[in-house]
A and B are shown apart, each in its own frame.
Chain A
Amino acid sequence: MFGFLKKSPSPTADVVPSGWIGRLSAGLRKSRQRLAAGVGGIFARKLDDAWFESLEEALIEADVGVKTSAHLILQLRQQARGQRLEHAQDLKPLLKQALVELLQPLEKPLEVTTHSPHIILFVGVNGAGKTTTIGKLAQHLIQQGHSVLLAAGDTFRAAAVAQLVSWGERNQVPVITQEKGDSAAVLFDAIAAAKARGIQVVLADTAGRLPTQLHLMEEIRKVKRVVQKADASAPHDILLVLDANTGQNALAQVRAFDDALQLTGLVITKLDGTARGGVLAAIAGERPVPIRFVGVGEALEDLQRFGAQEFVDALVE
């Protein structure tokens, strides 16, 4: 199952095989291989109740969740009956189609407005990949010709500032930090600095927080208000960073952060692992927040636009 070699994630040993798309499919291919035994395997069978049960199990094992899986199965059963399908193989395109229909509306790439600076706030639980995503997105934006500035708004975690500064150095972009002071103050500073230097995009890091930590949820609302004060049209994007390993709690995270901040997008990280991120289907059904990027590794170029078709292919192949 784990029979292929992956490059070491060492940043110094970065080899870019074939650009982002290559990387993404390399990352997702792993999911495909693994799923071949799961979802893929069952399509060779006869279409009966037991088969639908196996399909439901395969979806659940991909973190699609009980409710959304049941919903998908119901839809497929009706189609199978309506079209008098007898072979499971015939249902494969229909399953893919159902999933793509669910996820397609979320396929909206991030657009950098002409408003300068375009301010993007990154939020999420601890360890989701916020800081790493900022490092990778900076590179992505620079390649598109934008000027970028990073704001070290995680003033809580030990050495969080140093971590972001290191990504700043790799990208050769300025990082605004403060010796003391809270996130809001750092961001206020960063926005002023970006304006003064005519920089187009500000990527603002924040500390990790769980939706149950109400004081921290209140704090992030305050950060948003302060950013609005610095620039009435800002923040132009608020992205929730989600770890693809997360199970059904991902839904609760999207709900809580969206309620608190009105999210404009999601970033799904760690899709280069064995987790399948099927919870996105549940999210699409309940809180259709656009998925702006997927993370497929720890190196600078391991960030890719989300593509519904590609994601579904990886999930169902």
Chain B
Amino acid sequence: MLEQLTDRLTGVIKSLRGQSRLSDSNIQEALREVRIALLEADVALPVVKTFIDEVRQEAIGQSVLTSLTPGQVLVGIVHQALTRLMGEKNEALDLATQPPAVILMAGLQGSGKTTTSGKLAKWLKEQQRKKVLLVSCDVYRPAAIEQLHVLAQTLEVDWFPSDLSQAPSAIARAALDHARRHYHDVLIVDTAGRLAIDEAMMHEIQQLHAALHPIETLFVVDAMQGQDAVNTARAFGEALPLTGVILTKLDGDARGGAALSVRHVTQKPVKFIGVGEKLTGLEAFHPERMASRILGMGDVLSLIEEAHRTVDRVEAEKLAQKIKKGQGFDLEDFKTQLQQMKKAGGIGAMMDKLPAQLTRGMAVNQAVDERSLNRIEGIINAMTPTERRHPDLLKASRKRRVATGAGVSVQEVNRLLGQFEQMQKMMKMLSKGGLGKMMRGMKGMIPGLH
């Protein structure tokens, strides 16, 4: 699915090449593709429609800077609009009230309320140094109360007992009273999962809200949810004065369009995301990243982070310095680059993380990838250090020697030298134009990358 989306956006760009101003007619086709991309990411249809209309309004008439293609401009506008819709910046939990600050959890069955209650308790305890009390008002699902109890024990957080014979609002009142008397900073109230159309259950959670006066009422949403997200969000938003959203199971591969649907309908910020079933798996929400994810733009950020981790930083810096000083990029540097590329998981792994607009038209042959990298390294190894620094020294007889030494044909040595020459040019581009230019320049330069 990711591939489909990136292909689509690549198509969007292609179809708009060489036009200097965005107009209703030249973005028509492109916006249709964006619409499909959003729908495939499970953004609800009414939300998609509103969004596309807004983007159209914004895009028409915009001129295209010479350094960008019209497609890039449009994708930029889409991405910005999406980020804006997602909330621009992360919004923190609001606990500014006379303690105990009550947090009420609400959502459908199986959306992850109980696990998230545990994660939130851990976060409040460790990151905010709060004294937390956990209580479950789920008197329906078997062992739901016990589940929260076990989590509380694991976290060494206080837990208020409840049982199946009690009414949820009675449990809530007793827990609140207990929290007051024991000076808890925060009371987290877990509730049963409920369907938006279940009037009795929706009434029940309204009563809980009335009894608790929570400062935060968080709607817990499964990132895999489909089109119905708008309906459930509307129903929960109408029944309860929601203050925020938590998006769970984002460690999966769902594009998470529900985030946009829910945000659009409730107008409430996503405050956290859940990643992983471990209790540490709660993270701040980054609207910009979510927008990229929904659009299938590839996680450029994670690529950059990973590159930082894997690539030898000293080497990278040396190279950067060299390029800046205008010194030549030689075969020794080329070899270092190849080694680092191998460390980072090969070209394929790198390409996967790049947005479609950077890698358009490139396909990676994984099998060729690893093998060719090794061969190139072999050829460079067969050269003397002086030859590596000054490749122009490599004339016929030297080439023959290198070929024999590396166990390859002279043609292959020639091909490498050709590729290297292009690589040198590309490095110059990199010093001027950044990553995007470089990736485009790389096309056809490295074996296995077409």
Could you tell me which A residues sit within 8 Å of B by CB distance?
A: 2, 4-12, 30, 34, 57, 60-63, 65-66, 125-129, 132, 135, 156-160, 162-163, 165-167, 208, 210-213, 243, 245-252, 270, 272-276, 279, 298
Contact = CB atoms under 8 A, between A and B. Distances in A.
25 contacts: A2-B197, A6-B200, A9-B192, A9-B201, A60-B45, A61-B44, A66-B39, A135-B142, A158-B118, A158-B151, A162-B142, A162-B143, A162-B147, A163-B142, A165-B143, A167-B142, A211-B252, A212-B251, A246-B225, A246-B226, A247-B225, A247-B226, A250-B226, A270-B108, A274-B195
Nearest to A253: B224
For the complex, would chain A's binding face be called helix, strand, loop or mixed by DSSP majority?
Answer: loop
A17 to B, nearest CB: 15
Contacts of B253: 210-212, 249, 252
B198 to A, nearest CB: 5
B277 interface: yes
Interface stretch (B227-235, B340-348, B390-398): B227-235
B446 interface: no
For the complex, would chain B's binding face be called helix, strand, loop or mixed by DSSP majority?
Answer: loop
A163 B110 contact: no
A275 B142 contact: no
A176 B149 CA distance: 22
B359 interface: no
A165 B147 CA distance: 13
B185 interface: no
A7 B198 CA distance: 8
A273 B277 contact: no
B351 interface: no
A131 to B, nearest CB: 8
Given A6-B195, A8-B200, A157 B227 contact: no
Residue from A12, A160, A211, A275 whose CB has the most chain B CB atoms within 10 Å: A275
A256 B332 CA distance: 43
B200 to A, nearest CB: 5
Contact of A212 (B194, B252, B255): B252
B316 interface: no
A205 to B, nearest CB: 12
Nearest to A132: B141
Contacts of B229: 247
B376 interface: no
B249 A273 contact: no
A9 B110 CA distance: 14
Contact of A246 (B109, B118, B194, B224): B224
A159 B147 contact: yes
B150 interface: yes
Contacts of A270: 108-110, 195
Nearest to A251: B1
A6 to B, nearest CB: 5
A305 to B, nearest CB: 22
A159 B143 contact: yes
A297 to B, nearest CB: 9
A23 to B, nearest CB: 14
A205 B40 CA distance: 31
Contacts of A159: 143-144, 146-147, 149-150
Given A57-B45, A125-B249, A272-B195, A62 B150 contact: no
A270 B196 CA distance: 12
A32 to B, nearest CB: 13
Contacts of B142: 11, 135, 162-163, 166-167
Interface string B31-74: 00000100111101100000000000000000000000000000
Nearest to B42: A247
A42 to B, nearest CB: 14
Interface string B138-169: 01111110111111001000000000100000
Contact of B197 (A11, A162, A273, A298): A273
A249 B87 CA distance: 24
Contacts of A8: 140, 198, 200-201
Given A8-B200, A252-B253, A163 B228 contact: no
B150 to A, nearest CB: 4
Residue from A4, A12, A246, A272 whose CB has the most chain B CB atoms within 10 Å: A246
Given A245-B222, A270-B109, A298-B109, A65 B40 contact: yes
Contacts of B10: none
A210 B251 contact: yes
Contacts of A272: 195
B199 interface: yes
Given A247-B227, A247-B254, A273 B154 contact: no
A127 B227 contact: no
B112 interface: yes
Contacts of B139: 10
Contacts of B217: none
